[in-house]
């Protein structure tokens, strides 16, 4: 029996199909342009040519039906039929304070997730649409919600309460939550294994870099601070999100530029960050390539991003205690070395010494690697993250009644003999 994992965005779905023992990826892929017209699916199966099919997907439900049909296709699939799927793991971005671990979805839990749409409007609505569509298509198996926020609910009160009227927290839940939890979990467990130390004895800084970027301070295996806040908008510079800005800019922009609340929210989430600075590059890979070609706006955007990351690293060296290692995701391709070089260079006084040759080599090979110098007091790792494996392992543990939360879960990727999966995704 296999486990299906789904990560749903507004106009796209990423999926993976894992073997029952989670030791291999049977298939993976994406459906693009959901609800936009011109939808298409790309499926990747190890050992085969990629398969692409165009199909109109007017909503997430039809896109998920296409995924299941493709997985069970006698020609292009990997399953005899949909009955080969034992459970489905759904990424849910915002779980608020209610969900400290992954849970089997029912109507009550789904309603609680729906109540949180206002704090993650770009994400939770799509996650919910995916849940509804897959529960309809696969009605007789368990569906599990894996929350981005759960990993960060160990953050202490002094770090998650904003200096705002306390009633805002009491009545409306205004606090820091943090996101990308499964990625930070994976990075922290892999880094602990590479250090040959128990996870609960490690102090780490983990950095997730994709379209969204977040930094996490981990003390003795627990998240104690993270850059994203009540929403995924706070924190580091991202592809289209501003990250940290002066709150006074919001009222200024609304008054001087005559922007409505909805217009300003769209600007901060979809027209800022790297895209806002360059005026055209919302794709990180393209921005890095242009920066290497000395495009001035792209160089500026990259310098701003790296400077913000450097400041977060400095802050989290203090927050996490004596840090054993920094672990970064591999990012978005072979040019990612430049971002790491700018963010980590010049930090020798903090015990961080980057090896430039190792850093560039890690981008070419896209594998786990040490990129710090041999004399660096703090190790620096590049680790290809695998959030979908976290989803699959949580589902499998819940199905076997062995799951007792992510802190105690016996994840395969936290074991010394784990071999990183070759993703089809």
Cα 182 to Cα 90, 188, 407: the distances in Å are 12, 10, 12
Question: How many CB atoms are closer than 10 A to CB 169?
Answer: 17
**How far, in Å, CA of 392 to CA of 4, rounded?**
7
Nearest to 184 by CA among 197, 157, 158, 202: 202
Cα 160 to Cα 85, 112, 187, 310: the distances in Å are 39, 21, 22, 21
* Unique residue bearing structure tokens 């105690």: 408
Cα 222 to Cα 25, 77, 79, 204: the distances in Å are 28, 40, 38, 9
Q: What share of the chain is helix, strand, coil (3-state, %, to 5)?
A: 40, 20, 45
Cα 214 to Cα 143, 172, 233, 253: the distances in Å are 27, 24, 10, 26
Buried b (16+ CB within 10 A) or exposed e, 42-71: ebbbeeeeebeeeeebeebbbbbbbbbbbb
* Unique residue bearing structure tokens 């920066």: 291
Residues comprising the chain, all counted: 425
Residues forming beta bridges with residue 13, ordered by sequence position: 8, 31
Classify residue 345 as exposed, middle or buried by CB count within 10 Å of its CB (0-12, 13-18, 19+). middle
CB contact at 8 A, 305 and 284: no
Active site residue 148: yes
Candidates 148, 239, 295, 394; catalytic one: 148
* Strands of the 369-370 sheet, one edge to the other: 222-226, 213-219, 204-209, 325-328, 379-382, 369-370
**How far, in Å, CA of 5 to CA of 389, rounded?**
8
**Six token digits for residue 246:** 């002066």
Continuous segment of H or E residues that includes residue 282: none
**How far, in Å, CA of 307 to CA of 132, rounded?**
41
Active site positions, annotated: 148
């Amino acid at each position: 029996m296999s486990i299906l994992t789904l990560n749903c965005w507004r106009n796209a779905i990423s999926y993976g199909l894992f073997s029952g023992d989670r030791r291999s990826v049977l298939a993976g892929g994406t459906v693009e342009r959901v609800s936009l017209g011109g939808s298409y699916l790309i499926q990747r199966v190890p050992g085969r040519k990629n398969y692409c099919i165009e199909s109109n997907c007017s909503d997430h439900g039809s896109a998920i039906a296409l995924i299941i049909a493709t997985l069970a296709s006698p020609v292009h699939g990997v399953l005899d039929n949909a009955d080969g799927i034992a459970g489905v793991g759904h990424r849910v971005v915002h779980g608020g304070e209610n969900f400290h671990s992954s849970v089997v979805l029912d109507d009550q839990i789904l309603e609680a997730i729906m109540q949180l749409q206002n704090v993650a409007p770009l994400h939770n609505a799509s996650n919910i649409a995916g849940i509804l569509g897959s529960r309809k298509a696969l009605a007789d198996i368990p569906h599990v919600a894996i929350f981005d926020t759960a990993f960060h609910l160990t953050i202490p009160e002094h770090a998650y309460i904003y200096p705002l009227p306390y009633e805002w927290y009491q009545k409306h839940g205004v606090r820091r939550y943090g996101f990308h939890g499964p990625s930070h979990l994976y990075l922290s467990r892999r880094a602990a294994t590479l250090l040959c130390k128990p996870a609960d004895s490690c102090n780490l800084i983990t950095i997730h870099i994709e379209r969204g970027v977040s930094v996490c301070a981990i003390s003795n295996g627990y998240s104690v601070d993270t850059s994203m806040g009540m929403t995924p908008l706070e924190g580091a510079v991202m592809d289209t999100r501003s990250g940290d800005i002066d709150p006074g800019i919001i009222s200024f922009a609304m008054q001087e530029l005559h922007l409505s609340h909805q217009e300003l929210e769209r600007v901060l989430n979809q027209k800022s960050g790297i895209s806002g600075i360059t005026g055209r590059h919302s794709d990180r890979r393209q921005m890095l390539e242009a920066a290497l070609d000395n495009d001035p706006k792209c160089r500026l955007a990259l310098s701003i991003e790296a400077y913000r990351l450097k400041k977060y690293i400095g802050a989290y060296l203090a927050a996490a205690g004596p840090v054993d290692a920094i672990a970064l995701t591999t990012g978005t391709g072979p040019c990612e070395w430049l971002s790491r070089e700018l963010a980590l260079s010049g930090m020798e006084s903090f015990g961080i010494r980057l090896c430039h040759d190792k850093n560039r080599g890690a981008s070419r090979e896209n594998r786990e690697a040490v990129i710090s110098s041999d004399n660096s007091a703090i190790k620096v790792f590049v680790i290809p993250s695998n959030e979908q494996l976290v989803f699959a392992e949580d589902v499998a543990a819940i199905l076997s009644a062995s799951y007792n939360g992510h802190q105690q879960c016996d994840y395969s990727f936290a074991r010394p003999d784990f071999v990183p999966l070759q993703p089809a995704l």
